[in-house]
Structure 1
Amino acid sequence: MTRHGKNCTAGMVYTYQERKKDARQSGYGTDQIRTSKDSVKDFDCCCLTLQPCRDPVITPDGYLYDKEAILEYIITKKNEFSRKMKQYEKEKRQEELEMEELAAAEQRSRLRRFEGQESSIISKLGAAAGAAATTATAGAGPSGDASVSNMTADKARKLPSFWIPSLTPAAKKSVIKKPDKTVLCPMSGRPLRVKDFIAVVFTPVCDPHDKTALISKRNRFMCRVTHDILGNTVPAAVLRPTGDVVTMECVEKLIRKDMRHPVTGELLTEADIIPLQMGGTGFAGTNDQLSTSGARPVMQV
Structure 2
Amino acid sequence: MPQTKRNSTRAVFTSHERALAKSNWTDTSARLSRDSFLPFGSCGLCLEIARDPVACQRGDLFCRECALTNLMAQKKELKRIEKAKKNAAAEDEQRKEEEEAKQKEKDVKSFELTQAGLSKIEGPKKRKFDTGRESEAKLRKTDDGDAREILPSFWTPSLTPDANPSVHLAKINKTKTAAVCPASTSDTHVFSMAKMIPVNFSEERSTTSADPVRSCPSCRKTLSNSLAAIAASKCGHVLCRKCVDQFLIKPTKDNPGPDDMPIMCFVCDIPVALVPFGAGKTKELPVGLVIIKSEGTGFSAKGANTVERLSTMFQC
TM-score where L is the length of structure 2:
0.62
Any stretches of 5+ residues in structure 1 without a counterpart? Answer: 1-7, 122-165
SS at match of 1:271: coil
Deviation per residue, 1:176-226 (Å, 9 max, x gap): 22243212223241122221100001111146xx49421xx6xx1111233
Q: Which residue number corresponds to residue 203 of structure 2?
A: 204
* Residue 113 of structure 1, aligned match among 110, 115, 126: 110
C-alpha contact (below 8 Å) 1:200/1:244 kept by paired residues: yes
* 2:11 is the alignment partner of 1:13: yes
* Residue 180 of structure 2, aligned match among 171, 177, 184: 184
Q: 1:48: Cα distance to partner?
A: 2.0
In structure 1, distance between residues paired with 2:90 and 2:233? 48
Higher relative contact order (CA 8 A, sep 6+): 1
Q: 1:76: Cα distance to partner?
A: 2.0
- Superposition map of 1:271-286 within 5 A: 271-281=287-297, 283-286=299-302
Q: 1:228: Cα distance to partner?
A: 2.2
Q: 1:261: Cα distance to partner?
A: 1.5
- Superposition map of 1:147-296 within 5 A: 170-171=152-153, 173-174=161-162, 175-176=167-168, 177=170, 178=173, 179-186=175-182, 187=184, 188-206=187-205, 210=207, 212-214=209-211, 220-257=213-250, 259-269=263-273, 270-281=286-297, 283-287=299-303, 290-293=305-308
SS at match of 2:239: strand
Q: In the alignment, residue 85 of structure 1 is paired with which amino acid?
A: E
Instruction: Work out the percentage of aligned pairs sharing the same amino acid.
Output: 21
Q: 1:80: Cα distance to partner?
A: 2.1
Please give the root-mean-square deviation of Cα atoms over the aligned residues, in Å.
Answer: 3.5
Q: Which residue number corresponds to residue 135 of structure 2?
A: none
Change in Cα spacing, 1:100 to 1:34, as seen in structure 2 (3 Å) is: closer
Q: 1:92: Cα distance to partner?
A: 1.8
Change in Cα spacing, 1:29 to 1:275, as seen in structure 2 (3 Å) is: closer
C-alpha contact (below 8 Å) 2:46/2:66 kept by paired residues: yes
Q: 1:57: Cα distance to partner?
A: 0.5
Any stretches of 5+ residues in structure 2 without a counterpart? Answer: 1-7, 119-147, 154-158, 251-261, 274-285
SS at match of 1:87: helix
Change in Cα spacing, 1:278 to 1:91, as seen in structure 2 (3 Å) is: closer
C-alpha contact (below 8 Å) 1:30/1:295 kept by paired residues: no
Q: Which residue number corresponds to residue 86 of structure 1?
A: 83
Q: 1:35: Cα distance to partner?
A: 1.4
Q: Which residue number corresponds to residue 150 of structure 1?
A: none
SS at match of 2:43: coil
Q: In the alignment, residue 113 of structure 1 is paired with which amino acid?
A: S
Deviation per residue, 1:147-191 (Å, 9 max, x gap): xxxxxxxxxxxxxxxxxxx97963353412224321222324112
Change in Cα spacing, 1:169 to 1:203, as seen in structure 2 (3 Å) is: closer
* 2:28 is the alignment partner of 1:47: no
